[in-house]
Each structure stands twice: as C-alpha cells, then as structure tokens.
Amino acid sequence: MSTIPATPPARSEARRTVADAGIRRAGVLGLALLGSAAALALVVRGDVVRPPFQGLDDRWLTWMGGPHEGLYSAVASALNWFGGPLGVVVPIALLIFLLVRRRWVSAGFVFAVYMAGNMLVVQGLKHLVDRPRPAHPLVRVDHGSFPSGHAAGAALLVVIVGAVLVPAARRRAWWIGGTAFTLVMMWSRTWLHAHWLSDTAAGAMAGAGAGLIAWWICAPALAREARRIARPAKAVEPEPATAAAAR
C-alpha cells in the first residue's frame, strides 16, 4: 500500500509542531535556570561573607592568580569592556537593524527583554544580596558581587539573538557557540578578580533563564511576524514551468 507524500502545508504544520515543542522546552529550562539563580541568591543572602560554597570560590580565585599579563589578560580586558558600556553597542545595532527591516515585534522584544533582564533581574538580585567582591579587583567595579552582570548580559544576549535572528535549523550550533562565549565571559570575571565563581554561575543562569522565559512568552507573536515577513517572498516566486506550459 503506497503512502501519499506529505503536502507542503502538512510539512509546514509538522515543523511548526516541532518548533512549538522546542519553545516549550526552552521555557521550562528558563524557569529552572532563573529559579536556580534565585535559590542561590537566597543561600548567599543568608551569609554574604561565608556562604556554604565559599571554600570553592576561594580555591577557584587562587587558581586565577597571577601573573595577569599576556594573551589571557588581553582577552579578559576586552571582555570587560564588551560587557560594560561598550556592550550596549551590540543590542543597539541589533535594534536598529530590526527597525530598518520593519520587524516591530522583534525590535520590541529585544528592547524590553534586554532592559528587563539587566535592570530588573540582575540589579534586583544585586540589591537583594549585596555580596562583597573579592579583594583587589583588577578593574573598576560597582557595588554587589552577586550575580555577575557581565555573565548575565552575555547569556541574555545569546538567547535574544538566537530568538530573533538565527534560523531554527542553525540554532544548535548557535547555542553551542553561545555557551562557549558565556563560559569565557565567566572565566574573565574571575580572572580579573571582579567576581567569585558562584557569582558568574548565578549571572549566567539568571540571564539565560530570563531570556528563555521571555522567548517562551513572546514566541507566538514572533512566529506571526516571521510568517508575515515570509509571505510576500512566496507571493513573488516564479510560476513552475509546467503550469506555464499548461496555459
């Protein structure tokens, strides 16, 4: 008994079902990551000077000892600038690109999620915990060591770009590269003695978690915008030769 091949609408619906399942998994992962960051914050807040894992933080900081020069120092310093004031260049450039392309929903998503993730989630946790930083940081720092804003910003940016720019077929490679970038950012903050290791872990979890939850919530609107943008392109496709010959 022969099988009838799936029609293009059926294949499209199947892909949409798979994408929806992936978004749901992302949302669940986001809740788990953000919840873990919040739980870690409560643990640290109980004793900001000597939390239960301070021994691990001290040991890691010892491994991050000098000499702080050469290639490692250059990479860490560059990432310090990227995660600081210079870091806003990337989301601003992304926002301008989306506005020029008239992708209003994506632009609103980028602006709202980036601002909320950094201002509400990260700064909220900083004020809640107010953990002292390691002694003698090698770069200028503000108050509150927990969580790392640089690590949170890196993870959040990876999720935002993956949600609005990276095609679904290429997202696995993007997540792998984005995870590596976030890990390097985490290393750089401890290398510069700006954060404890647990600060960077909590920052990465908070940033990624906030981004994934926002993507989960906004996925239907982003998907509708993507279909609207794709529709005109399909409308101008040339007619198949067989159809033209039949006329």
pLDDT tens digits for range 87-106: 788 899 999 999 999 999 99
Which tokens belong to 73? 């120092």
For 48-69, how does the pLDDT look when each residue is reduced to its tens digit (9 = 90+)? 999 999 999 999 999 998 778 8
Measure the CA–CA gap between 235 and 237, rounded to whole angstroms.
6
Mean pLDDT of the chain: 87
Helix segments in the chain, DSSP class H: 8-46, 54-63, 70-83, 89-100, 104-115, 123-129, 149-164, 171-191, 197-235, 241-246
- CA angle 215-87-62, nearest 5°? 100
Higher pLDDT, 9 or 213: 213
Higher pLDDT, 10 or 79: 79
Split at pLDDT 50, 70, 90, the class of 23 is confident
pLDDT at residue 235 is higher than 90:
no
171 burial (CB, 10 Å; 0-12 / 13-18 / 19+) is middle
Split at pLDDT 50, 70, 90, the class of 10 is low
Split at pLDDT 50, 70, 90, the class of 169 is confident
Split at pLDDT 50, 70, 90, the class of 206 is very high
> Three-state DSSP class for 134?
coil
Measure the CA–CA gap between 124 and 132, rounded to whole angstroms.
16
What pLDDT does 164 receive? 94
- How many CB atoms within 10 Å of residue 67? 7
pTM of the complete model:
0.84
CB of 162 closer than 8 Å to CB of 25: no
What pLDDT does 244 receive? 46
